Amino acid sequence: MKYLVAGLGNPGAEYIHTRHNIGFDVLDHMAMHAEVFFSTERYGDIARLKIRGRQVILLKPNTFMNLSGKAVNYWMQMEHISRENLLVVTDDLALPTGTLRIRLKGSDGGHNGLKSINEILNTTDYARLRFGVGNEFAKGRQVNYVLGRWPEEEETLVQERIKISAEAIRTFIAAGPVLAMNQFNTKGN
């Protein structure tokens, strides 16, 4: 059984560790702890690992956020991965910083990466791990906010939540989405 975990973000040094690239940061954490490395392949950087005997492909699309669906669709087809075994890791302005929510379907909520995936897969029926980035920005400053780096006072919280996100992904794959949602979609997390 194969899984595709797609962490959304933008390629390029100017986007490293920005709020919008939290998906990349979560996947980098997973790869580092599994002692696997990313290699640049078609439409993204790919790392392969196993979780409880299940093959997992980590994908960091290099298509830029608004074309994420192209990379996700390509790797789902290439690796024969069903929609039930897709998990997208994305930033979410609607959630307070560090809040995690696993959902099995839903709208794009104005997120260009999810919008692209929804359009190309022609469905909103796939799992996503939403990582709250808060919404402390002035009117009209949303782009600068999501493309900005975390303030120093949030760094410890964000690093802790990245670790918990990786645990949530491992649980999703090893034990299924219901247990992962029950365990990680708590008020205190």
Q: pLDDT (tens digit, 0 to 9) for every residue of the chain, 189 residues total?
A: 899 999 999 999 999 999 999 999 999 999 999 999 999 999 999 999 999 999 999 999 999 999 999 999 999 999 999 999 999 999 999 999 999 999 999 999 999 999 999 999 999 999 999 999 998 888 878 888 999 999 999 999 999 999 999 999 999 999 999 999 999 996 554
From the list 17, 20, 29, 111, the catalytic residue is 20
State residue 19's pLDDT score.
95
Instruction: Classify residue 177: in a domain, yes or no.
Output: yes
Rounded Cα gap, residues 64 and 67, in angstroms: 6
CA atoms within 13 A of residue 84's CA, in its CB half-sphere = 4
**CATH assignment of the domain containing 118:** 3.40.50.1470
Task: For residue 54, list its beta bridge partners.
Answer: 51
Instruction: Classify residue 58: in a domain, yes or no.
Output: yes
Segment holding 54, helix H or strand E:
strand 54-61
Q: pTM here?
A: 0.95
Q: Which domain holds residue 86?
A: 2-184
Number of structural domains (the chain) is: 1
Segment holding 100, helix H or strand E:
strand 100-103
Instruction: Classify residue 97: in a domain, yes or no.
Output: yes
Rounded Cα gap, residues 6 and 25, in angstroms: 11
Q: How far is CA 9 from CA 21, 25, 68, 184, in A?
A: 4, 9, 9, 22
Q: Is 20 a catalytic residue?
A: yes
Q: Phi/psi of residue 127, each to 5°?
A: -80, 145
State residue 136's pLDDT score.
83
Structure tokens at 165: 């996100």
State residue 1's pLDDT score.
87
Rounded Cα gap, residues 23 and 33, in angstroms: 16
Instruction: Classify residue 105: in a domain, yes or no.
Output: yes
3-state secondary structure of 112: helix
Instruction: Classify residue 189: in a domain, yes or no.
Output: no
Instruction: Classify residue 23: in a domain, yes or no.
Output: yes
Rounded Cα gap, residues 169 and 189, in angstroms: 15
State residue 90's pLDDT score.
97
Instruction: Classify residue 92: in a domain, yes or no.
Output: yes
